[in-house]
Structure 1
Amino acid sequence: MKDFLFNIKSGLKNHNYIFKFKLIWCIPLMVILIGFDWISKAIVVNTMKYEGNNATFIPGIIRFNYIINPGAAYGMNADNKGLAITIATLVTLLLIIVFIFLKNKYWLIPINLMVAGSVANLLGRAWAPLTKDGISGGVVDFLEFEYAYSNFIFNLADAWVSIAVAIIFVIFVIYIVIEIIEFNMRKKDLKKYDFYCDIKYRKAFLFESYWSKINNKNQEKFSYKDYLSKNKQLQKEWKEYKNKE
């Protein structure tokens, strides 16, 4: 048990969290998205009539319809506020943990959007007005699709999460295509595949090395210009290798 705890502690200490990348790119974007959501909710609360001010936003697609949703995203668990808040809190904590440990810049994009949407809605419950039934802790929703079969009313935070899900789907498709390409490459030309893997590994290592918050004493320190130059050089190496064939 002692060795197990030591391994966990050592793993957490040595993990590359790429905090520099998250502090420079991810956190500011997250703050902006949360800010947009809160500002939009504040404008709706102060300018629109509750459940009585339907107005077209994008003709034939989206309209405004201000309500207070005591449930989760898109009205789920609306009849159980406690369960909705508990699930929202647990999901938010899980997403934050994933965000902290994740170091793939492509997966960080949708996770960043999910954290922004989840945090915005969770914190928004603290100041949202009461529902018409006098229930507190709800979420301000105001966007509704104008389709006859649509009963969903949502907000920008919900939209961030939906966009994140769409991006995850696209990334999955891209990864599948890449896996197929790599499989064919490995099958046809093992030498070319090995060189490709080496370039891929070196680019990943370069990214993690530069975007770490604090460089290791034994690690080479370089500027952002140097980082871009080294990354460009790796792309050039791969291009030149392919052109030789």
Structure 2
Amino acid sequence: MSLDWISKSIVANSMVLDGVGTTFIPGLIKFKYTINPGAAYGMNAGKLGLAITIAALVTLLLIAIFIFIRNKYWLIPISLMVAGSVANLLGRAWAPLTSDGIKGGVVDFIVFDFSFLGSDGYIFNLADAWVSIAVGFIIVILIAYAVFEILEANMRKKDKEKYEFYVDIKTRKQILFETYYEKFKFKDENKLTYRDYLSKNEKITKKWKKYKNKR
């Protein structure tokens, strides 16, 4: 979040608003400073109040999900989404006026220096990029979950004993993570350290490997 604000501040203080822009990495990225009164990638640009309301509601929802989430695989994308959403929402408070004198917009400055499905028509910032990366993570995770579901179903049909052992290992890992994360999140002085978590997790993994090697 700090990196996003720093980049926006540098752009706002060193570039001309709605100017020509400048190439950063030829053929890949260029910078063009603008103030977007809408949501990500210019959505609802003509409805500032609606854009801010939606942004605030989405931010609160993401924070709630982050607080109650228990699965480590979702932590990275949700964390990126929270960081991006909060950065843009709070960034509206100090962003300069638009060329039309509108307050409450977001500093955007990154433009793709190539055209792929209209990619060069979007202007965004680091916070937007983090949200987009998070969406990519979510898609990959969903695909991985689908693949694992198929593999687990196949294991359950072919070897019920192996499947039950696998589920036990999976459950132990989940409980271990929840124990570590809950104490970490609430700053418990007697929390399970990251090193301890990795060590215990490795022991559980070895049990699974040892079991498979015997089969």
The answer to whether the 8 A contact 2:155-2:162 is kept is yes
Counterpart for residue 127 of structure 1: 94
The TM-score, its normalising length taken from structure 1, stands at 0.81
SS in 2 for 1:125: helix
Report matched runs for 1:129-208 at 5 Å. Answer: 129-148=96-115, 149=118, 150-208=120-178
Identity of aligned residues (%): 67
Please state how far the C-alpha of 1:50 moved relative to its aligned partner: 1.0
Distance 2:130 2:24 in 1: 18
- When residues 222 and 61 of structure 1 are mapped into structure 2, their CA distance, relative to the original with a 3 A threshold, is closer
2:39 to 49, 54, 72: 72
Counterpart for residue 107 of structure 1: 74
CA RMSD of aligned residues (A): 1.6
Equivalences, count: 207
Please state how far the C-alpha of 1:65 moved relative to its aligned partner: 0.5
Please state how far the C-alpha of 1:97 moved relative to its aligned partner: 0.6
Q: What runs of 5+ residues in structure 1 fail to find an aligned partner?
A: 1-33, 215-219
CA-to-aligned-CA distance 1:166-202 (integer Å, 9 cap, x gap): 0001111111111111111101000000000001101
1:94 to 57, 61, 66: 61
Distance 1:120 1:207 in 2: 28
Please state how far the C-alpha of 1:162 moved relative to its aligned partner: 0.3
Distance 2:44 2:22 in 1: 26
2:50 to 83, 92, 115: 83
Please state how far the C-alpha of 1:105 moved relative to its aligned partner: 1.2
Q: Quick check: 1:58 aligned with 2:34?
A: no
The TM-score, its normalising length taken from structure 2, stands at 0.92
Distance 1:226 1:36 in 2: 31
